Every structure is written in C-alpha cells, then in structure tokens.
Amino acid sequence: MKNYKVPDVSLFGVKKLDDQHQEPFDILDGFNAIGDPGSTAEIDRLFGRLHDLLVRHFADEEQLMAEGRPGTALPN
C-alpha cells in the first residue's frame, strides 16, 4: 500500500490545519487498501470520514482566519 503524504506547499505551520491537510491522503490510502471492490460498507465509511473532515476543516480554517491567526491569512 502506498502511503500518500500532503505536499509541503499545503502545510502552514498550524498543527491543527496541517494534520487536517494530511487526512485526505490517509483516506486515499484507505481506499487503496480495500481488497474487495464490493466492500460498500468500507467505501461508505471512508466517504463519510471525508465528508466530516471537509465540514470540520473549512469551519476551522474560517474560524482561524477570522481570529487573524498567523499562517491562516489568505494571500493578497
């Protein structure tokens, strides 16, 4: 199984966000690990995990940007 890693360009030095940026790659590894293509329960679980991550991640990013936290500002 290939272990994907988040590209360095996606790391901001904010541990909470950097960990969340790695998580989609971990989920991708999970999809690659499915041996039985008919394993719909595992596929559903991974898509649910991805959905939950995206909701949580964008809420966290918006909150940190609103707080003016270093490393979270959008470039001009």
Q: Tell me: pLDDT of 74 over 90.
A: no
The pLDDT of residue 76? 45
The arithmetic mean of pLDDT across residues 26-33, rounded, is 88
Name the token pair of 8: 């360095």
Task: Give me the residue label for tokens 């998580």.
Answer: 23
The arithmetic mean of pLDDT across residues 42-50, rounded, is 93
Name the token pair of 11: 């790391």
Distance CA(75)–CA(36), nearest Å, equals: 44
Distance CA(76)–CA(72), nearest Å, equals: 12
Distance CA(70)–CA(50), nearest Å, equals: 26
pTM: 0.71
